[in-house]
């Protein structure tokens, strides 16, 4: 769709919330207003699109939200949107509000829905990567990742105090059902003794050997960071496998959980979200559509939804190796 044909756009957040989503919404609304576009916010993602929960948004509506966690547009996971009937209802509401194009802020599921929907109804979409997992192909970083890592590191720092005081072994579970990015960066940033992620096989005997060596050389405590999706069953599963042999270290399990999703976004996430939201509008007006916008080597790039959804983004082997070396 040509620039001159785009008059009204809609923006929404979908899937899991991520700190910085509000900054992205703010950037979309204000960049659109600068270009004399009408902007509508859709509440609760695809669910709100199906139910017709649209609201006009002006510059003043996004004042004082850049520092807030969560999403002012709220979010949801929509089973109805996965059906042809649900998407038809969503298309009817977009037509009723004369929406020419959409900007979807979310993760893999959000982009999958956008791809299918745009192909069925010929509505241009731009995806903005908002997920704490940092697992989307086509961008070095996703909105919310930096804040989640900082939250996890703060928690691990506090756990280290207790581990040191009581000479104990702690298994700390962070989010990452299919991705080890949060775990890897948290482990490096907190100086953890080891990190277990879904992308790397873990030999439990090797882990036991590391812990025994740590104890033999006088290291009185250890903190192991585990991604929730690790194949041995997260922190609880790993702890159960070593508990009998290393009972003297009194293994403890801490699950940080949804604390990682909340809180004010870091400066890095605010700037990243602002850049991606701003350029999403610009790329839409330049004629790009059905792509995810991202940042690679500090430059803005776009990636077709098909690639963003299907291609796997893996943590760098060099970073995994470095984490192992620094933990010695």
Q: What are phi and psi of 194, to 5 degrees?
A: -165, 160
Report whether 280 contacts 102 (CB < 8 A).
no
The DSSP secondary-structure symbol of 311 reads: S
Q: How far apart are CA 116 and CA 121, in angstroms?
A: 9
Per annotation, catalytic residue among 17, 100, 133, 269: 133
The beta strand positions in the chain, using DSSP E, are: 8-13, 38-42, 54-57, 101-106, 125-129, 169-174, 194-196, 222-227, 252-255, 291-296, 299-304
Q: Would you report the helix, strand and coil content of the chain in percent, each value rounded to 5?
A: 45, 20, 35
* Burial bucket for residue 23 (CB in 10 Å: 0-12, 13-18, 19+): buried
Where do we find the tokens 């900054």? 23
Report whether 4 contacts 35 (CB < 8 A).
no
- Residue 130 tokens, joined: 């908002």
Of the candidates 104, 25, 14, 105, the one whose C-alpha atom is nearest the C-alpha of residue 61 is 25
92 part of the active site: no
- The per-residue DSSP string of 25-68 comes to HHHHHHHHHHTT-EEEEETTHHHHHHHT-EEEE-GGGGTT-TT-
Q: How far apart are CA 302 and CA 295, in angstroms?
A: 8
Residues involved in catalysis: 133
């Amino acid at each position: 769709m040509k620039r001159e044909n785009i008059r009204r756009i809609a923006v929404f957040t979908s899937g899991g919330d991520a700190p910085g989503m509000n900054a992205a919404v703010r950037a979309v609304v204000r960049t659109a207003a600068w270009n004399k576009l009408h902007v509508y916010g859709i509440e609760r993602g695809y669910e709100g699109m199906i139910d017709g929960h649209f609201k006009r948004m002006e510059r003043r509506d996004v004042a004082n939200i850049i520092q807030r966690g969560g999403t002012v547009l709220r979010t949801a996971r929509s089973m109805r949107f996965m059906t042809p009937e649900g998407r038809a209802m969503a298309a009817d509401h977009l037509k009723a509000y004369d929406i020419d194009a959409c900007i979807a802020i979310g993760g893999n599921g959000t982009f999958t829905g956008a791809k299918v929907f745009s192909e069925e109804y010929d509505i241009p979409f731009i995806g903005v990567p908002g997920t704490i997992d940092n697992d989307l192909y086509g961008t070095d970083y996703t909105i919310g990742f930096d804040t989640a890592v900082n939250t996890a590191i703060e928690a691990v720092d506090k756990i280290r105090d207790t581990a040191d005081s009581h000479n104990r072994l702690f298994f700390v579970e962070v989010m990452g059902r299919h991705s080890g990015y949060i775990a890897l960066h948290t482990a490096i940033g907190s100086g953890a003794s080891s990190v277990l992620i879904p992308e790397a096989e873990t030999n439990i005997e090797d882990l036991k050997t590391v812990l025994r060596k740590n104890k033999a050389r006088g290291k009185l405590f250890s903190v192991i960071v585990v991604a929730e999706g690790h194949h041995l069953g997260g922190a609880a599963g790993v702890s159960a496998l070593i508990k009998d042999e290393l009972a003297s270290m009194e293994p403890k399990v801490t699950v940080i959980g949804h604390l990682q999703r909340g809180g004010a976004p870091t400066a890095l996430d605010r700037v990243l979200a602002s850049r991606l939201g701003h350029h999403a509008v610009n790329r839409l007006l330049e004629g790009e559509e059905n792509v995810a916008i991202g940042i690679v080597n500090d430059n803005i790039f776009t990636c077709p939804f098909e690639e963003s959804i299907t291609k796997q983004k893996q943590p760098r082997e060099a970073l995994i190796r470095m984490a192992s070396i620094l933990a010695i």
